[in-house]
Amino acid sequence: MEKLIEKANILMEALPFITKFRGKTFVIKYGGNAMAKADLKTAFAQDILMLKYIGINPVIVHGGGPQIGEVLKRMGLESKFVGGLRITDKATMEVVEMVLGGLVNKNIVMHINKYAGGHIRAVGLTGKDGGLIRAKKLDAEEYFKQMGGFRPTELLDLGHVGEVEYIDAQILKHLEEDNYIPVIAPIGFDNQGNAYNINADFVASAIASALKAEKAIFLTDIDGLKDENGNTVSSTNVEQLEKMIQEGVIKGGMIPKVKACIQAVQNGVKKAHILDGRVPHCVLLEIFTSHGIGTEITA
């Protein structure tokens, strides 16, 4: 009986959050170990379906860097990086489209639909579908300047590495109304039809901004942002984050993710969250419990 009462209390703790967020949109960047391990993939699919069933509209944006690297290796093509960005020539871009838009995207869709029921289904998209993600070639010099730390010795052509220019969210709104869960690969296109490989964190941020989402949630392989003493920061804001970047507390690969969070909350998203995707059901734990488990970011 005590265990049953405990379960009832957990449900009651979640009730105010369910009431508050019903009808809202959450954009979730999915990647890292959460996307690689079987038990975590199952937990993530269940979390997403739970959100949808209780009236929240999840939109998923996924990465897939390791999977791209694996296929390139099998094809005898070398992976080259500059400051964390994959140099993407035409041949590499074709592989990126096949892996992200095909293999990875459809596996995520299939996994969610495996546990779905009734009228709810996931559907896979790239930025080309419905004109969703209009992109342009990344200004590498400006990017490295904004991210700090890395300074290339020479200005390299990164090829088909892009940045978001515009999000046409109309197709996502239609899918939402028809009870579909969009699963989006971070591939954009320009006016000439050129495809671009875009950092999934910035795609998630841009889509969350376009949808005026309640939350932008980023799954990572750390348990949240750390302060100068190594303690996890449960809540912070843009001003504090900018200071942490300037002081070198936030550095390396976390800078783009934090910049994506900042971009989201400065463009109308209520809150951004950095969560440990290695924790089963991390999305539910962050959203529907009083204490949460990651770092919450506000403007």
pLDDT at 146: 84
pLDDT class for 134, splitting at 50, 70, 90? very high
Distance CA 278, CA 293 (A): 12
pLDDT at 55: 94
Unique residue bearing structure tokens 């069933």: 53
pLDDT class for 32, splitting at 50, 70, 90? confident
pLDDT at 179: 92
What would the mean pLDDT of 22-47 be, rounded to a whole number? 91
Q: What is the pLDDT of residues 225-247, one digit of tens each?
A: 998 988 889 999 999 999 999 89
| Amino acid making up residue 246 | Q
Q: Which has the closest alpha carbon to 97: 67, 59, 138? A: 67
| Cβ-based neighbours of 74, under 8 Å, separated by 6 or more | none
**What are the sequence ranges of the domains in the chain?**
24-298
pLDDT at 4: 61
Choose the weakest-confidence range: 125-129, 150-154, 233-237, 286-290. Answer: 150-154
pLDDT class for 5, splitting at 50, 70, 90? low
Task: Please give the residue that has the higher pLDDT: either 246 or 214.
Answer: 214
Choose the weakest-confidence range: 5-9, 160-164, 279-283. Answer: 5-9
| Cβ-based neighbours of 223, under 8 Å, separated by 6 or more | 232, 276, 279, 293, 294
| Amino acid making up residue 1 | M
Q: What's the predicted TM-score (pTM) here?
A: 0.93
pLDDT at 283: 92
Task: Please give the residue that has the higher pLDDT: either 150 or 267.
Answer: 267
Task: Please give the residue that has the higher pLDDT: either 82 or 46.
Answer: 46
pLDDT at 34: 81
What would the mean pLDDT of 260-282 be, rounded to a whole number? 95
pLDDT at 270: 96
pLDDT at 13: 79
pLDDT at 7: 62
Top CATH class of 24-298 equals alpha beta
CB 287 within 8 A of CB 21: yes
Q: What is the pLDDT of residues 182-196, one digit of tens each?
A: 999 999 999 999 999
235 forms beta bridges with: 296
What is the token pair recorded at 25? 């949109």
Q: What is the pLDDT of residues 99-114, one digit of tens each?
A: 999 999 999 999 999 9
Residue 46: how many other CB atoms lie within 10 Å: 16
Q: Where are the alpha helices (DSSP H) in the chain?
A: 2-21, 33-36, 38-53, 65-74, 90-98, 105-115, 140-147, 170-177, 200-210, 238-246, 254-266, 282-287
Distance CA 1, CA 293 (A): 28
